[in-house]
Structure 1
Amino acid sequence: MIQVANRLNTVEEYYFSKKLREVNSMIADGKPVINLGIGSPDLQPPQKVVEAISASFQNPNAHKYQSYQGLPELREAMAKFYKAHFSVSLSPATEILPLMGSKEGIMHISMAYLNEGDEVLIPNPGYPTYQSVTKLVGAKGILYELDEANNWMPNFDELEKLDLSKVKLMWVNYPHMPTGAKPTKYVFEELVAFGKKHNILIVNDNPYSFILNNEPKSILNVEGAKEVCLELNSLSKTFNMAGWRVGMVVGDSTHISNILKVKSNMDSGMFFGIQKGAVEALNCSTMWFATLNNVYQERRQLVWQLADALNCTYDKNASGLFVWAKLPEFIKSEEFIDLVLQENHIFITPGTIFGSKGEGYIRFSLCASTEALEEAIERVK
């Protein structure tokens, strides 16, 4: 038997990869499961985006290898987008690197900056990929706890008590997933100061700024942030393009150059047509966001009703593509969602997949039609 690499002993198959096999098996057996677990937008991208990718097939360069740095017009569109929505100035030539989704950026950044034994600050609760990628590159994850009492923001007094001598990188994610907590400018200013003080690269993962949020923010808007910060962003949620795999990492040119050294050895450029579609998406007017959020607002009202029917509580001021809900006391997240799946044929995400601080919480996705949500409410009632 050929032995696998030792790094595979440190990670497990992604939760949704495993759980969806169970859900799909139930559907195959005729059970009408309503999936409220996954944040995969079910709405269509802007029509002009679809038209752009279709028209691109006639371009003689469409089927060739593409630049590792993406089309110049794509980087230009990304720079204009950041200027228009975040008041952040970026050089299209040196401070932007398009990615095949921001998820790959987590790996590229980690490979560019982490050596075996380096330490990484990872939010708990937080996106599970931060932890798994840290393990895959041989670094050590140090969990920093977030809690509802502090509106899911870092506790800098507690962070300062840690031995930070080996910490090289810190993952943050605001607006926060899974809780939907919105950042204050204060927290970004504190993060920049913390990174400078301890020589830590702060990476803000920022794909949810425009979903049910009227005040999109970038950590790069803080003075001096480029010295110690990078930001990941994505078109997946904002423009319903999750399957297209388009994202970006932005920041100081030195950091971008370092990440490019990794990325250029991992792929051979993004498909031409997808880049053309992404340009059109980034050039959408603010009317797009208003229309999108009207839909999500209606769905969120229904999810709140569903949460009420399940005796859960939640924060109506949260943003993002999910509703993070607290279970009644002493109820375990995974036991609860398995019970609802078996009895009501509704799949909800347990908070525990985001870390130990997610125990006692569940997460509902807004990526389901109003008809499906109304049906879910009826099943629970």
Structure 2
Amino acid sequence: MIEVADRLKNVEEYYFSKKLREVAFLKSQGKPIINLGIGSPDLEPPHKATMVLQDSLLDEGAHKYQSYQGLPELRTEIANFYRSRYKVNLSAQTEVLPLLGSKEGIMHISMAFLNPGDEVLIPNPGYPTYAAVTKLLQAKPVYYDLIEENHWLPDFIALERLDLSNVKIMWISYPHMPTGAKATNKFYDEVIAFGKRHDILIVNDNPYSFVLNDKPISIMRYRNAKDVCLELNSLSKTFNMAGWRVGMLVGNYDFVQAVLKVKSNMDSGMFYGVQKGAIEALKCSDLWYVSLNSVYQQRRELIWKLATELNCTYDEDSAGMFVWAKLPPHVKSEEFTDLILKEHSVFITPGTVFGSNGEGYIRFSLCASDEIIKEAIARV
């Protein structure tokens, strides 16, 4: 009998992979499902980006293997983007690495820096892929608590009490997914100092900083960040290009080169046309961001109304393309969302998908039109 590797025994299939099969089945049975669960942008990418992609198909060499490090002009535009939008100076030659989506980067970073048995600090609640990748590499997740009373920020006093001798990586993500919490200057200074004290690589996953957030921040802007930090970013949310799979990794040369060693053995470069389109997207003016956030602001106000109809509370100062809502006392997240799906054909994500501290919360996506959200409100 052929058996799967031991590493799969402690890893579940990704929640949305399973749940979307269930949703698709319900749709096939005639159920009019409204999907407010997943953050897959439904808006169009920048028009010029799609036009450049189309035009590039006729360029000489467009269909050949591409550089593992991406086109030089893409790396340059990523560096320009960081300089203009975050006030961060990066070397396009040595401190920027385009990725096939930032989710790929989570695996590549982990493979570059973790040995079996190493420990990884993972936020609870947080993006489930951090823990899944850690387990796949036979390293050990060490969850650190994020709670509403502390504004969904780490408690560094509690972290210092832990045995950190085997910790190699700490994952952070601000604006935070799933809660939308924004980090402070003090937090970035503290987390960098924490990484330096304990020789821990701090990785900031930063795909939501331009969605409903008037002060986008990169951890790379802070003193000593390049000594202990890497940052992942993405065009998926900012430019509605999730299916294009364009991400980026930035940090100092040594860290980036370590990840490149892994990446260059895992893929054969990003499609040329996608890179050309990404370059154009990164050049978008302020008007793009204003227009994008105007749409999301209107949708968020409707989602707030939906949350209120469901007797939930929420933080109006959050960022990102989700609304993290607190259920009434003693209501279980998964039971509640299953009930809403069954009775009203509306799919909402239970907070427990993101960790035990997500119990008592649900997450709404803003990736649905005003009309669809209004229909959800009418149903409940």
- Taking structure 2 as the reference length, what is the TM-score of the superposition? 1.00
Counterparts of 2:35 and 2:42 in 1: how far apart (Å)? 11
Q: How do residues 223-372 of structure 1 correspond to structure 2 at under 5 angstroms?
A: 223-372=223-372
Shift in Å, 1:286: 1.0
SS of residue in 1 equivalent to 2:288: helix
Counterparts of 2:112 and 2:376 in 1: how far apart (Å)? 45
Counterparts of 1:213 and 1:316 in 2: how far apart (Å)? 12
Counterparts of 1:136 and 1:24 in 2: how far apart (Å)? 28
**One-letter identity of the residue aligned with 1:294:** S
**One-letter identity of the residue aligned with 1:190:** E
Counterparts of 1:4 and 1:376 in 2: how far apart (Å)? 42
- The corresponding residue for 2:95 is 95
Unaligned runs of 5+ in 1: none
Q: How do residues 170-189 of structure 1 correspond to structure 2 at under 5 angstroms?
A: 170-189=170-189
Shift in Å, 1:359: 0.2
Counterparts of 1:39 and 1:196 in 2: how far apart (Å)? 34
- The corresponding residue for 1:36 is 36
Q: Deviations over 1:335-379 (max 9, x none)?
A: 000000000000000000000000000000000010000000000
**One-letter identity of the residue aligned with 2:250:** V
Residues 1:68 and 2:84 are matched in the alignment? no
Q: Deviations over 1:271-294 (max 9, x none)?
A: 000000000000100110000000
Q: Deviations over 1:284-324 (max 9, x none)?
A: 00110000000000000000000000000000000100000
Counterparts of 1:74 and 1:184 in 2: how far apart (Å)? 30
Shift in Å, 1:10: 1.2
Counterparts of 2:106 and 2:148 in 1: how far apart (Å)? 26
Counterparts of 1:238 and 1:81 in 2: how far apart (Å)? 12
Q: Deviations over 1:98-157 (max 9, x none)?
A: 000000000000000000000000000000000000000110000000000010001000
- The corresponding residue for 2:50 is 50
- The corresponding residue for 1:373 is 373
CA RMSD of aligned residues (A): 0.4
Q: Deviations over 1:18-74 (max 9, x none)?
A: 111111111111110000000000000010000010000010110000000000000
Shift in Å, 1:183: 1.1
SS of residue in 2 equivalent to 1:323: strand
**One-letter identity of the residue aligned with 1:59:** D
Counterparts of 1:75 and 1:263 in 2: how far apart (Å)? 16
- Taking structure 1 as the reference length, what is the TM-score of the superposition? 0.99
The structure 1 segments of at least 4 consecutive aligned residues displaced by more than 2 Å after TM superposition are: none
Shift in Å, 1:75: 0.2
- The corresponding residue for 1:116 is 116
SS of residue in 1 equivalent to 2:149: helix
Q: Deviations over 1:141-186 (max 9, x none)?
A: 0000000001000100000000000001100000000000011111
Instruction: State the number of aligned residues.
Output: 380
Counterparts of 1:28 and 1:325 in 2: how far apart (Å)? 30
Q: How do residues 127-166 of structure 1 correspond to structure 2 at under 5 angstroms?
A: 127-166=127-166
SS of residue in 2 equivalent to 1:50: helix
SS of residue in 1 equivalent to 2:295: helix
Counterparts of 1:202 and 1:147 in 2: how far apart (Å)? 20
**One-letter identity of the residue aligned with 1:200:** I
Unaligned runs of 5+ in 2: none
SS of residue in 1 equivalent to 2:177: coil
Counterparts of 2:51 and 2:147 in 1: how far apart (Å)? 44
Counterparts of 1:286 and 1:202 in 2: how far apart (Å)? 30
**One-letter identity of the residue aligned with 2:43:** L
Shift in Å, 1:262: 0.1
**One-letter identity of the residue aligned with 1:322:** F
Shift in Å, 1:253: 0.4
- The corresponding residue for 2:198 is 198
Counterparts of 1:179 and 1:205 in 2: how far apart (Å)? 14
Counterparts of 1:206 and 1:297 in 2: how far apart (Å)? 20
Residues 1:27 and 2:27 are matched in the alignment? yes
Counterparts of 1:273 and 1:21 in 2: how far apart (Å)? 31
